[in-house]
C-alpha cells in the first residue's frame, strides 16, 4: 500500500505531541497548513489542539481549512463562530453568525448566540430582544434566561412573571442548564428583595453544579502550597538580573472572583497606552513549560537548560496571539497568585495588583455567580471558606516576598476614593495621568466577565455590604472562615 505524502508530517506531529514539544508541534501544524494537507474533518481537531495551547493564529487557520474541506456549509461556519467567541473575537463572531440562516444551529441557539455576544458588546436592548426570542423558541432554557436577566431589573418587569412561568419547562432540562435557570431565578428574587427565596434558588443551582463538577480541597491546597514553595530571598532577584527583554507589556490584576478585578481592568484599559484586557489564563502554559509552579520546579527547569527569557518569550508570544503586537494588556487571570513565582521570575517588569473585598460580600457574590468555566469551590459555603483561607495565605506570602511590587487594593477604599486610588494604580503601572481612566464607564470595549454591565456604570457603592440581607444563610461560611463564635467585622 502506497504511503500518503502527508504521512511523514503527521508522524512528526504525533512525535511532537508525545514529547510535549510546543515548538515542534507548532512547526508540524504550520507545515501541514502551508502545504494544504487534505486532512478533511481532522482539521477541526487540529484547530482545537491549537486553541487549547493558546496558538490562536494556527487555530484560526486550521478552522479555515476545515471549512474549506467541508464546503463552507452553514454548520461549519457556525463552528467558526464558536471559535471566534472562544478566542475573544466577539465583534467578528457577531458579524459571522448574523450572516448565517436563523435556524443555524437552530432558532433558539442562533438567537442566544447573537444575544449573548450583543451583551458582551454592551448592546443591552438588542441583547434583550435576541434572548427573549431564544426563550420563546426554547421555553425555560437556562443559559438564555441567565444572560437575559443580567441586564434587567425584574422587580416590576413582566419578564419576571415569564421566568416563573417557565419553571416547569426548565425542570425538564439537564442539570447544567437547569442550574443556570435557578441562578436566573435567584436574580429575580434579589430584585424583588426576597432574600430567603433568592438564597434558596442560588443554593439549588449551586447544588446541581456541585454534582457535575468534581472539586478537591486537598488538590486546591496542594497547588497553593507548591506555589509558595522554593522561593527563598534572593532567588527571584537572581534570575531577574538575567532579563533579556522588556517584559512590562502585561499588567496582572488578580484576586478572588467578584472582588473588583474587572473594574480595575476596565479602568486601566481606558488608558491610551493599554490596548485591552481579559481573563487570559495563559500563565498556565508557563507552568507546563517549567514543569510546575514551585521554585524547585523552576530551578530544575533552569538546570536542564531552560531560562527566564524562554518563559518570557512564551508568555509574550501567547499575549500577541490574543491581542496583536501593540499596547499594554491587562491579564486578569483569577487564581494568578498560584503562578506569581513564575510571573515574578520570568516577567520582572510586569506590575502586579491584588484586589481585596469584604470576605462576606465576596462569599455571597461568588455563591450567586454562575462562572462560565466552572469554579468548583463556589458551589458550597464551606468550600468557599476553605478557598478564601488559601487565597489569604497566598496573598500574605507574596506580599511579604514581593513587597512594593505587589499593590494590594481594598475594594471598599477604592470605591470611596476612586480618583485617589486610580492615580495610585497608574503610578504603579508606570502610566501617565489621563482623563479617560476617570470616566471608564464610557469606554467602549468588549467585557467578557459577569461584571460586564457593572463596569459600564459610574463607580458607585452598590457593591458594599451586599451580603447583609443574607447574613443568616451565610452562617456556615462565617463559622468556617472566621471561626465559630467570632464576631464578623462590620456586622455588630
pLDDT band at 443 (very low <50, low <70, confident <90, very high): low
Q: How high is the pLDDT of residue 484?
A: 72
pLDDT(89) > 90: yes
Count Cβ neighbours within 10 Å for each residue of 159-171 and write b for 16 or more, e otherwise. Answer: bbebbeebeeebe
CB 205 within 8 A of CB 242: no
Q: Does residue 487 sit in helix, strand or coil? A: coil
String of DSSP letters for 8-39: HHHHHHHHHHHTT-HHHHHHHHHHHHHTT---
Rounded Cα distance, 76 and 83, in Å? 11
Report the 3 state secondary structure along 359-394: HHHHHHHHHCCCCCCCCHHHHCHHHHHHHHHHHHHH
Whether the predicted pLDDT of 4 surpasses 90: no
484: Cβ contacts below 8 Å, ≥ 6 apart = none
Pairing of strands 352-356, 328-331: unpaired
pLDDT digits (tens, 9 = 90+) for 382-435: 999 999 999 999 999 999 999 999 999 999 999 999 999 999 999 999 999 999
Residues with Cβ within 8 Å of residue 33, at least 6 apart in sequence: 58, 61, 62, 65
For 287-331, what is each residue's pLDDT tens digit?
999 999 999 999 999 999 999 999 999 999 999 999 999 999 999
Share of the chain above pLDDT 70, in %: 94
Confidence category of residue 213, pLDDT binned at 50, 70, 90? confident
Read off the pLDDT band of 444 (50, 70, 90).
low
Q: Identify the sign of the CA torsion 71, 72, 73, 78.
A: positive
Do the Cβ atoms of 332 and 250 come closer than 8 Å?
A: no
Say what the pLDDT of residue 45 is.
Answer: 96
Listed in sequence order, the residues at least 6 apart from 352 whose beta carbon sits closer than 8 Å to its beta carbon are 252, 254, 340, 343, 344, 398, 402, 405, 406, 407
Antiparallel, parallel or unpaired: β 274-278 and 406-410: unpaired
Average pLDDT, rounded, for the chain: 93
Q: Round to whole Å and give the CA distance between 377 and 385.
A: 9
* 333 pLDDT higher than 80: yes
Residue 465 has pLDDT above 60, yes or no: yes
Each residue's pLDDT tens digit, 219-253 = 999 999 999 999 999 999 999 998 999 999 999 99
- Torsional sign, CA 208, 209, 212, 217: negative
**pTM higher than 0.85 for the full model?**
yes
Contacts of residue 170, defined as CB under 8 A and 6 or more positions apart, other chains included, come to 140, 141, 142, 145, 177, 178, 181
pLDDT value, residue 2: 44
Sheet bearing 352-356, strands edge to edge: 274-278, 328-331, 250-255, 352-356, 406-410
Whether the Cβ atoms of residue 353 and residue 186 lie closer than 8 Å to each other: no
Amino acid at each position: 500500500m502506497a504511503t500518503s505524502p502527508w504521512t511523514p508530517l503527521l508522524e512528526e506531529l504525533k512525535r511532537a505531541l508525545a514529547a510535549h514539544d510546543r515548538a515542534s508541534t507548532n512547526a508540524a501544524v504550520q507545515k501541514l497548513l502551508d502545504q494544504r494537507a487534505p486532512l478533511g474533518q481532522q482539521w477541526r481537531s487540529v484547530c482545537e489542539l491549537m486553541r487549547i495551547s493558546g496558538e490562536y493564529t494556527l487555530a484560526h487557520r486550521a478552522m479555515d481549512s476545515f471549512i474549506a474541506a467541508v464546503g463552507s456549509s452553514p454548520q461549519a461556519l457556525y463552528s467558526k463562530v464558536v471559535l471566534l467567541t472562544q478566542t475573544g473575537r466577539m465583534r467578528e463572531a457577531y458579524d459571522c453568525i448574523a450572516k448565517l440562516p436563523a435556524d443555524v444551529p437552530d432558532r433558539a441557539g442562533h438567537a442566544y448566540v447573537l444575544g449573548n455576544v450583543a451583551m458582551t458588546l454592551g448592546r443591552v436592548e438588542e441583547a434583550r430582544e435576541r434572548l427573549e426570542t431564544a426563550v420563546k423558541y426554547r421555553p425555560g432554557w437556562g443559559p438564555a434566561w441567565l444572560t437575559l436577566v443580567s441586564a434587567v431589573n425584574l422587580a416590576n418587569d413582566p419578564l419576571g412573571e415569564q421566568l416563573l412561568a417557565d419553571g416547569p419547562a426548565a425542570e425538564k432540562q439537564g442539570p447544567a442548564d437547569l442550574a443556570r435557570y435557578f441562578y436566573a431565578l435567584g436574580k429575580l428574587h434579589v430584585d424583588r428583595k426576597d432574600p430567603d427565596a433568592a438564597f434558596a434558588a442560588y443554593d439549588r443551582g449551586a447544588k446541581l453544579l456541585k454534582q457535575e463538577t468534581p472539586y478537591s480541597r486537598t488538590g486546591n491546597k496542594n497547588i497553593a502550597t507548591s506555589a509558595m514553595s522554593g522561593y527563598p530571598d534572593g532567588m527571584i532577584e537572581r534570575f531577574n538580573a538575567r532579563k533579556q527583554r522588556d517584559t512590562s507589556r502585561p499588567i496582572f490584576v488578580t484576586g478572588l472572583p467578584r472582588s473588583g478585578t474587572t473594574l480595575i481592568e476596565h479602568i486601566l484599559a481606558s488608558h491610551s497606552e493599554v490596548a485591552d484586557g481579559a481573563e487570559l489564563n495563559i500563565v498556565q502554559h508557563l507552568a507546563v513549560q517549567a514543569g510546575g509552579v514551585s521554585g524547585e520546579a523552576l530551578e530544575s527547569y533552569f538546570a536542564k537548560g531552560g531560562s527566564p527569557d524562554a518563559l518570557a518569550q512564551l508568555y509574550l508570544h501567547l499575549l500577541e496571539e490574543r491581542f496583536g503586537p501593540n499596547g499594554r494588556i491587562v491579564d486578569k487571570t483569577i487564581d494568578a497568585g498560584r503562578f506569581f513565582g513564575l510571573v515574578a521570575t520570568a516577567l520582572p517588569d510586569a506590575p502586579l495588583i491584588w484586589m481585596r473585598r469584604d470576605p462576606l460580600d465576596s462569599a455571597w457574590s461568588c455563591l450567586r455567580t454562575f462562572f462560565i468555566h466552572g469554579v468548583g469551590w463556589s458551589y458550597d459555603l464551606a468550600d468557599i471558606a476553605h478557598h478564601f483561607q488559601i487565597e489569604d495565605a497566598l496573598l500574605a506570602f507574596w506580599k511579604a516576598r514581593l513587597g512594593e511590587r505587589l499593590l494590594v487594593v481594598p475594594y471598599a477604599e477604592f470605591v470611596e476614593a476612586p480618583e485617589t486610588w486610580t492615580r495610585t494604580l497608574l503610578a504603579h503601572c508606570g502610566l501617565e495621568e489621563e482623563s479617560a481612566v476617570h470616566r471608564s464607564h464610557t469606554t467602549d470595549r468588549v467585557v467578557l466577565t459577569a461584571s460586564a454591565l457593572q463596569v459600564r456604570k459610574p463607580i458607585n457603592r452598590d457593591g458594599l455590604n451586599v451580603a447583609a440581607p443574607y447574613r443568616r444563610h451565610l452562617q456556615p461560611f462565617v463559622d468556617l472562615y472566621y471561626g465559630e463564635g467570632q464576631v464578623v467585622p462590620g456586622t455588630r
